[in-house]
Amino acid sequence: MDCYPPKRSSSKSVLRLIARAAGLSVLGFAGPFALQAQSFTTDDPVVRRIWEVGMEHSQTEALAQVLMDSIGPRWGGTPNLGSAQDWLVQVYASWGVPARKEQYGTDLGWEQGILHVDLIAPRVQSLEAKMWAFSPSTGGPVEGAVIALPSVAPIDVDPARWLPLVKGKWVLTVPPEPTCRPDQNLEQLARPETVERLKSLREENQIWRRRRLAEAGGGAAWEHMLDSAGALGIIWSQFRGWGTFPAFEAVQDLRIPYISLSCEDYGLVYRLAKNNQHPKLRIEVEAERGGQVPQFNVVAELNGAELPNEYVVLSAHLDSYHGATGATDNGTGTIAMLEAMRILKETYPNPRRTILVGHWGAEEIDFAGSLTFREDHPEVVEGLQALFNQDTGTWRIDRIEGQSLLYAGQHIGRWISLVPREISEHVTLMFPGTQTDQGTDHMPFVCVGAPAFNLASPMDEYRQYTHHTNRDTYDKIVFDDLKENASLVAMLAYAASEDPERVPRDRAVLPIDPDTGEPREWFGAVAGSREAEFCDRRRGHNE
């Protein structure tokens, strides 16, 4: 998941937004909404049953434990992702829900093994580290000196003068952080002048990084330049304003390993090198690269009894980065959709419209799974009543945006009016919406005008703390919220399925683009990747 939410409306405005969108009374949601000749209220027997099954008999903890603990990380091209897909098909089969794996293309095979990074001079200390996806093996422990590139390669120095220095060394490629304290601590406790000084130092570091990459022709060119010059490996660190843990991404087709260190471990090694205290590292990377391997989405469905060619789609990506167990990105979304289908099978087994769930195989690689599904299933796009996507970490769903569909709010507002207030009072509706949420799997459908909606949760802590880090683990899941999210998804799917009307696809005028002074254009459709390779699209982090 790669998107930032807008500021959320205060809780006092939630009921008003819901009621206005639905044309209902603010005080009592009194307006009628006929669904198959039954009252669309929180007294609906199916909704009461969904609440009972989802909130009182949740299976989210047991399902999440298997996915995160037993199967583990699920990077595209790894055996773990295949194991997770087989497990999903088996789980659905045990519930009597038809499910299948659909191949959409191939990806490069890769499997990670152990990683050890140790400082062995001027003293001994094991360091907290993670390899980047597709990093090659070292073929055993490799010892070498360290060079801190920013201290020996100022921006105005010709690379031809410093590049020979990297041969046979571990290369620290970015300036260290001036402090690894969380931004929140500094803002609360530090002097204002201290905060400003540290902010200025960080901005200087970013300027160095951006200019050096620009001079080299981008991150890929930069890394291949170091590879060709004979470096032992590339060492990197990223600080997001919270914690000291290593973050990671995916590498190009390098012959040398790419390693992330935690904030302070990186700073330690950098200071030793800069001050000529001769640090030496011993690094061992076990990893195996393979050829092209098949890649799949997992699709399960409850066939529509009256309108089988119209669809309500539940959406979440199954893949995750390799350095943790992918609990909040996107294990929570996966389990919410899986559990929602279990609830629906038990409470609403014969839906009016077909209810389909897509567990996408490769969101982290440019939405390859959902994009190719959209291309392979034009009938689903044409018949789409609503798609509900979840991919914003743990915590309860608190915002649904209309994605700039002019009349979507009238439908979503009516659907949410069915939801018990214990859940709905926490949900802010934004209509028609500004397409703020762009970095996840509803967008391949939104960009062709289909009614696809992101079920957003608070993201500040997620962006700082668990997103693409080794802290994205089972213990971060808030199960009280996860079982509520699954129940909410099931309720929305039921309501959208029973709605007597289709959601219109009329488009609203988007907000003004400050660069042009004209309304921003609707996002254009792009093609899905069928044969993933080492290329820049994997690496938006440093471009």
CATH number at residue 170: 3.50.30.30
The token duo for 344 is 């629906």
One domain, residues 369 and 462? yes
In a domain, 40, yes or no: yes
In a domain, 383, yes or no: yes
Phi-psi region of 525 (alpha: psi -120 to 50; beta: other; left: phi over 0): beta
In a domain, 135, yes or no: yes
CA distance linking residue 292 with residue 294, whole number of Å? 7
Looking at residue 252, what is its pLDDT?
67
One domain, residues 276 and 333? no
One domain, residues 154 and 240? yes
CATH number at residue 53: 3.40.630.10
Which range among 324-333, 339-348, 525-534 has the greatest average pLDDT?
Answer: 339-348
One domain, residues 364 and 492? yes
Question: For residue 17, what are the domain limits?
Answer: 11-26+33-98+303-513
Q: How far apart are the first and last CA of the chain?
A: 18
pLDDT of 35 above 80: no
Q: How far is CA 262 from each of CA 128, 434, 469, 497, rounded to the nearest angstrom?
A: 6, 36, 10, 47
Q: Quick count: other Cβ atoms within 10 Å of Cβ 282?
A: 18
Looking at residue 185, what is its pLDDT?
85
Mean pLDDT of 60-75: 97
pLDDT of 37 above 50: no
One domain, residues 392 and 311? yes
In a domain, 6, yes or no: no
One domain, residues 256 and 279? yes
One domain, residues 174 and 312? no
Residue 38 · residue 470 · CB < 8 Å: no
One domain, residues 319 and 235? no
CA distance linking residue 389 with residue 333, whole number of Å? 8
The percentage of residues in the chain with a pLDDT greater than 90, rounded to a whole number, is 67
One domain, residues 172 and 270? yes
**Domain boundary residue, one of 289, 320, 339:** 289
Residue 262 · residue 248 · CB < 8 Å: no
Local structure of residue 155 (DSSP, 8 states): T
Domain count for the chain, please give it. 2
Give residue-wise pLDDT tens across range 416-438: 999 999 999 999 999 998 887 78
In a domain, 105, yes or no: no
Please tell me the pTM assigned to this model.
Answer: 0.86
Give residue-wise pLDDT tens across range 343-372: 999 999 999 999 999 999 999 888 899 999
pLDDT-derived band of residue 541, with 50, 70 and 90 as boundaries?
very low
In a domain, 519, yes or no: no
Those residues whose C-beta lies under 8 Å from the C-beta of residue 516, and which sit 6 or more positions away, are none
One domain, residues 397 and 489? yes
Give residue-wise pLDDT tens across range 213-250: 787 777 788 889 999 999 999 999 987 766 555 666 77
